[in-house]
Amino acid sequence: MAPLPEAELVRSSVQLYRYLLRCCRRLPQGHIQQHYRHAIRQSFKVHADEDDPERIQQIIKRAIEDADWVMNK
C-alpha cells in the first residue's frame, strides 16, 4: 500500500496523530487495527511532554517512515 497523500502535510503532533489513525483504517479489520491504534495512543502518551521543536520534527519524520513501512508490509 502506498502512503496516504497527506503525509507531506503533517507538521504538528495532532496532524500526525490523525494521519496515523487514518493509516490504521486502511489495515485489515480486527486485531491488526486494534494493535496499531493502541501503539499509536501509547506512543503519544509517552511523548506528550516533549517540548523541543527539533525533536518533535524528528519523531514526526520517523513515525511517518514507520507507518509507510507497516502499510507496505
Q: Reply yes or no on whether the pLDDT at 5 is more than 90.
A: no
> Where do the domains of the chain lie?
12-42+63-72
Average pLDDT over residues 4-32: 85
pLDDT at res. 62: 92
Q: Which three cell numbers stand for residue 65?
A: 517512515
66: helix, strand or coil? helix
Q: Map grid coordinates 486485531 to a residue.
A: 31
pLDDT tens, residue by residue, 21-59: 999 998 888 999 999 999 999 999 999 899 999 999 999
Please give the model's pTM, rounded to 2 decimal places. 0.81
